Structure 1
Amino acid sequence: MRLDLMQLGLMRLGFLSSHGGSTARAVTVACTRGELAATPALLISNNSASPVMQWAGEIGLPRLHLSRAAYPDPDELDAAIVAALRAHQIDAVVLSGYMKALGTRTLTAYRGRMLNVHPSLLPLYGGRGMYGDLVHAAVLAADETVSGATVHQVEAGIDEGTVVAQSRVAVLPGDTVATLRARVQATEGPLMIAALQKLAEAVT
């Protein structure tokens, strides 16, 4: 798949990702299929060797490596991220497994237009140290019967932004971290796409 940026929707999307970028990939596919009225316009990663950077190169999505390696001062990195998003005329930002805290400039510039997906029913199992498989392990250890995913606005506190949408999946007898992760992850892309469609209708 190669992107034809001239034929997609009006809302321009930026992605921030550190590793595989599964949500960024799902959102991009939805855009190319006409299921989401938006245009993937930029990927920023703090990890130059990440699979998501390779993927972006393969499909022709503009990509930038911005990290503390080049910007050891956090304020300078924050300013560089905002400058890159503005240079590419980004309307909304999707965090897709971005493992770094964002600075005040970025959070202010895109307040209400920056979304993240978290693999639990926030406020449960959110906050510092709760990410990826650690979330699913905690859910299983607590003998929860229901889990899911949450799309929320990104604010200064970790996983504390306003909840936009949630999906729910049953925690089944005999579940492992891997099986629970698979079911929750399967809901994350569609959940983010639906949230972005509502945002697109509001900003375009």
Structure 2
Amino acid sequence: MKKIVVFASGSGTNAENIVKYFSNTEIAKVVSIFTNNASAKVIDRAKNHQIPVQIFSKTELLDGNVLQKIQKIDPDLIVLAGFLLKFPENIIEKYPHKIINIHPALLPNYGGKGMYGIHIHRAVVNNKEKETGISIHYVNENYDEGAIVFQANVALTDEDTAETVAEKIHELEQKHFPEIIHRLLGE
């Protein structure tokens, strides 16, 4: 069985969706959830599914401490699901093409530092975009610039608000993210 490690900074809805998706398969399982936020809701979600949680500081992420913990697990795939810190090069170098991220926009648009969550959705609405979507991509040394693995889009209307866009994006994430992880692990 293949091992997935998930990194998340917030509520953990995508992390939990991945846990649930793989809980009834023989393909893979989420073996650990890492977070940089000691009060993140993802911690409770992980505990509800008996998934070990690693809480770490930004310093531990950068100084090799987190890399050592990952190496002990030896995951087949590292999944960033709402993880807000820039992923360090020392981990990227050890796991080339084994780290993916989900981004709530159609990259290369609305990517980069500071572009996450509601900030993206507000920008999409303010720019009167006719569509938006999700991008699942490999992680490299730059925010949101790794090779794109998958994109899905959704139409927008003039009535959409940042909040309704967020709901549409969440539906796309919940549907496609586990499926793409499954596909990548099968390759």
What TM-score do you get using the length of structure 2 for normalisation? 0.94
Match of 2:18 among 27, 40, 56: 27
Q: Is the 8 A contact 1:92 1:113 kept in 2?
A: yes
Q: Distance in 1 between matches of 2:102 and 2:133?
A: 10
The unaligned stretches of length 5 or more in structure 1 are 1-9
Is 1:182 aligned to 2:167, yes or no? yes
Q: Is the 8 A contact 1:113 1:199 kept in 2?
A: no
Match of 1:111 among 76, 91, 96: 96
AA aligned to 1:11 is K
AA aligned to 2:107 is L
The unaligned stretches of length 5 or more in structure 2 are none
2:57 alignment partner in structure 1 = 67
What root-mean-square deviation, in Å, do the aligned CA atoms of Structure 1 and Structure 2 show? 1.5
Q: Percent identity?
A: 25
Q: Distance in 2 between matches of 1:151 and 1:102?
A: 15
Q: Is the 8 A contact 2:104 2:134 kept in 1?
A: yes
1:3 alignment partner in structure 2 = none
Shift of 1:99: 1.1
Q: Is the 8 A contact 2:128 2:158 kept in 1?
A: no
Which runs of structure 2 are paired with 1:125-204 in the superposition (5 Å)?
125-202=110-187
Is 1:39 aligned to 2:35, yes or no? no
Q: Distance in 2 between matches of 1:159 and 1:179?
A: 23
Q: Distance in 1 between matches of 2:34 and 2:158?
A: 39
Q: Distance in 1 between matches of 2:65 and 2:174?
A: 28
What TM-score do you get using the length of structure 1 for normalisation? 0.87
Shift of 1:166: 0.6
Q: Is the 8 A contact 1:147 1:171 kept in 2?
A: yes
Is 1:49 aligned to 2:39, yes or no? yes
Q: Is the 8 A contact 2:16 2:46 kept in 1?
A: no
Is 1:101 aligned to 2:89, yes or no? no
Q: Distance in 2 between matches of 1:75 and 1:99?
A: 14
- Moved segments of 4+, more than 3 Å: none
Q: Is the 8 A contact 1:150 1:163 kept in 2?
A: yes
State how many pairs are aligned.
187
